[in-house]
Structure 1
Amino acid sequence: MKLLSGHPSSMHITQHTDYALRVLIYLASNEQRLVTIQEISERFEISRSHLMKVVNQLIRNGFVEGLRGKGGGLRLARPPQQIAVGDVVRRMETDLALVECFHETSRCLLTSTCQLKGVLGAALEAFFASLDKVALSEVLGPSQRALLHVLKRAP
């Protein structure tokens, strides 16, 4: 899920986080039943092994519950109204540094006098403030539910 397009160094959400958001949206649209990793893998054409890593992190972070055994599967750990998109992105992303100077090991010669780090830091805060206002339930509109239910019936 690219947030800004164009230049390769533009800010973006990693594929790992994109898949996490897809999983959560899918689970929210199927709240009435348990969903398997295999089902999600097939619906979104995502590698099952990659999806396992995503789901395990979602479970560790308290977004998803995994029930083992026959008849087991996945479900949201709490209602979609209580899951902020910003929280998901923060917990799934491993590196939110927009530029080198965000790292302690920055070797940029301008770091001591440059004001860009502050500007970009404020932009990142605004980005998350915006995402924090959006619950998972708000990104799951009626057309999304309809699309996912059609996909569920597809051969």
Structure 2
Amino acid sequence: MRLTNYSDYALRSLIYLAVKPEPETLANISDIASSYNISKSHLTKIIHQLGQLGYIESVRGKNGGIRLAYAPKDINLGVLIKQIEPDFDLVECFATPVSSDDRKPRSTGLPITLINEDVNKTVGCVITPVCQLKGVFFEALTAFITVLEKYTLADIIKNEDELSQFLFSQKM
């Protein structure tokens, strides 16, 4: 399983906001992008989504910026990843469940379900209807998400002083 750069940058942004020297003060996207040497334009999309999901607060205007909307202990990594990863389709026989009425992903507690292929239907893999491997992948992916759900942002910033040195020392 490999997470997208999008998820990686989202987590890094939250780490940055959680360990900045004065948590109440606003940060800006340029500073985060510069600290991690990542694309500001890509990061802007990520910050926007984190704001829409309620993880960060945005303040507009000349002195505007962003900050965490919740305490780090209240930001669950598994929940976050399930919200921002575009899909968990490890193999073609995985699919994100979709509600037929509004075409939005359903909340099932798990990030994916398995497609029950019609035996007579043409699929990319000829053994999909009888394959046992998809069950193994499903179990592995479920375990991956379950582990992430055991941790919060607070758990991964316990070395806050060290993180701050790497992120902010060149600016001081």
TM-score range, shorter chain: 0.7 to 0.9
Largest Rg, 1 or 2: 2
Q: Distance in 1 between matches of 2:141 and 2:58?
A: 32
1:68 paired residue number? 60
Q: 1:18 aligns with which of 8, 11, 17?
A: 8
Q: How many residues align?
A: 144
| 3-state SS in 2 of match to 1:100 | coil
2:103 paired residue number? none
Matches within 5 A, 1:1-155: 11-30=1-20, 31-103=23-95, 106-142=123-159, 144-149=160-165, 151-155=167-171
Deviation, 1:112, is 0.9
Deviation, 1:32, is 3.2
Partner letter of residue 145 of structure 1? Answer: D
Deviation, 1:145, is 3.1
Percent of residue pairs identical: 42
2:100 paired residue number? none
Q: Deviation per CA, 1:60-116, whole angstroms, max 9, x where unpaired?
A: 111111111122111111111011111111111102111111145952111111111
Distance 1:48 1:133, change over 3 A: same
1:8 paired residue number? none
Q: Distance in 2 between matches of 1:149 and 1:88?
A: 26
Range with bigger deviation, 15-24 or 82-91: 82-91
Q: Which structure carries more helix by proportion?
A: 1
Q: Distance in 2 between matches of 1:21 and 1:34?
A: 18
| 3-state SS in 1 of match to 2:129 | coil
Instruction: Please say if residues 157 and 163 of structure 2, whose CA atoms lie closer than 8 Å, have aligned partners that are also in contact.
Output: no
Q: CA RMSD in A?
A: 1.7
2:120 paired residue number? none
Which runs of 5 or more residues in structure 2 are unaligned? Answer: 96-114, 118-122
